[in-house]
Amino acid sequence: LKFLLDHCSLSSDKHKKLPPGPFALPIICNILWNRKSLSEIECILRDMHTKYGSIIRFNFGFHQAISITTHELAHKALIQHGAIFADRPSALDPNSFITTNRYSISSASCGLLWRLFRRNLTSGILHASRVKSYGHTRKRVLQILINRLKEQDKSNESICVVDYFQYAMFCFLVHMCFGEKLNEEIIRDIETIQRKLLTSFGQFNMLALVPILGKIIFRKKRNKLYELRRNQLSVLIPLIRARKEHEKKTQCQVGEGDMVVCYVDTLLNLRLPNGGRKLTEEEIVPLCSEFLNAGTDTTSTAMQWIMANLVKYPCIQAKLLSEIEGVVGPGEEIKEDDLKNMPYLRAVVLEGLRRHPPSHFLIPHTVTEDITIDGRLVPKNAIVSFTITDMGWDPKVWEDPMEFKPERFLTGDDGLEQKVFDITGSREIKMMPFGAGRRICPGLSVALLHLEYFVANLVKEFEWTTKDGDEVDLTEKQVFTVVMKNPLRVHLSPRNIG
Ligand code: HEM
The 3-class SS string of the chain reads CHHHHHHHHCCHHHHHHCCCCCCCCHHHHHHHHHCCCHHHHHHHHHHHHHHHCCEEEEEECCEEEEEECCHHHHHHHHHHCHHHHCECCHHHCCHHHHCCCCCCCCCCCCCHHHHHHHHHHHHHHCCHHHHHHCHHHHHHHHHHHHHHHHHHHCCCCCEECHHHHHHHHHHHHHHHHHCCCCCHHHHHHHHHHHHHHHHHHHHHHHHCCCHHHHHHHCHHHHHHHHHHHHHHHHHHHHHHHHHHHHHHHHCCEEECCEEECCHHHHHHCCECCCCCCECCHHHHHHHHHHHHHHHHHHHHHHHHHHHHHHHHCHHHHHHHHHHHHHHCCCCCCCCHHHHHHCHHHHHHHHHHHHHCCCCCECCCEECCCCEEECCEEECCCCEEEEEHHHHHCCCCCCCCCCCCCHHHHEECCCCCEECCCCCCCCCCCCCCCCCCHHHCCCCHHHHHHHHHHHHHHHHHHEEEECHHHCCCCCCEEECCCEEECCCCEEEEEECCCC
Q: Closest Cα to residue 62, out of 95, 24, 96? A: 24
> Is any ligand 1 atom within 6 A of the Cβ of residue 291?
yes
Q: Closest Cα to residue 364, out of 10, 49, 70, 60? A: 60
Contact 399, 414 (CB under 8 A): no
Contact 260, 179 (CB under 8 A): yes
pLDDT < 50 stretches in the chain:
1-5, 8, 99-100, 253-258
Integer Cα distance of 323 and 344 in angstroms? 7
Integer Cα distance of 94 and 102 in angstroms? 11
Return the ligand 1 atom nearest residue 107 CA: 40
ipTM above 0.95, yes or no: yes
Length of the chain: 498
Measured N-to-C along each axis, helices 343-355 and 314-327 cross at an angle, to the nearest 10 degrees, of 150
Which residues are registered as beta bridge partners of 334?
none
> Is any ligand 1 atom within 6 A of the Cβ of residue 363?
yes
> Is any ligand 1 atom within 6 A of the Cβ of residue 268?
no
Return the ligand 1 atom nearest residue 436 CA: 16
> Is any ligand 1 atom within 6 A of the Cβ of residue 204?
no
Tell me the HSE value of 340 on the side-chain side, using a 13 A CA sphere.
Answer: 3
Q: Binding site for heme: which residues?
A: 441
Distance 444 CA to ligand 1 centre (A): 7
**What is the maximum alpha-carbon separation in the chain?**
73
Nearest CA to ligand 1 atom 24: 295
> Is any ligand 1 atom within 6 A of the Cβ of residue 45?
no
Distance 33 CA to ligand 1 centre (A): 25
Return the ligand 1 atom nearest residue 106 CA: 40
Integer Cα distance of 25 and 27 in angstroms? 6
pLDDT at 1: 43
> Is any ligand 1 atom within 6 A of the Cβ of residue 292?
no
Nearest CA to ligand 1 atom 27: 295
Distance 296 CA to ligand 1 centre (A): 10
> 115: Cβ–Cβ under 8 A, 6 or more apart, which residues?
none
> Is any ligand 1 atom within 6 A of the Cβ of residue 214?
no
Positive or negative torsion for Cα 96, 102, 104, 110 = positive
Q: Binding site: which residues?
A: 441
Return the ligand 1 atom nearest residue 108 CA: 40
> Is any ligand 1 atom within 6 A of the Cβ of residue 362?
yes
User: Which residue type occupies 434?
Assistant: F
Pocket mutation for ligand 1, best pick of 441, 451, 453, 455 (most atoms within 8 Å of C-beta): 441
Integer Cα distance of 259 and 327 in angstroms? 30
Q: Closest Cα to residue 388, out of 310, 301, 477, 481? A: 481
> Is any ligand 1 atom within 6 A of the Cβ of residue 179?
no
> Is any ligand 1 atom within 6 A of the Cβ of residue 435?
yes
Positive or negative torsion for Cα 246, 252, 258, 263 = positive
> Is any ligand 1 atom within 6 A of the Cβ of residue 110?
no
Distance 291 CA to ligand 1 centre (A): 9
Would you say the pTM of this structure is higher than 0.90? yes
Task: Mark residue 158 as left, alpha or beta (left: phi above 0; alpha: psi -120 to 50; beta: remaining).
Answer: beta
pLDDT at 100: 44
Nearest CA to ligand 1 atom 21: 441
> Is any ligand 1 atom within 6 A of the Cβ of residue 431?
no
Integer Cα distance of 349 and 208 in angstroms? 36
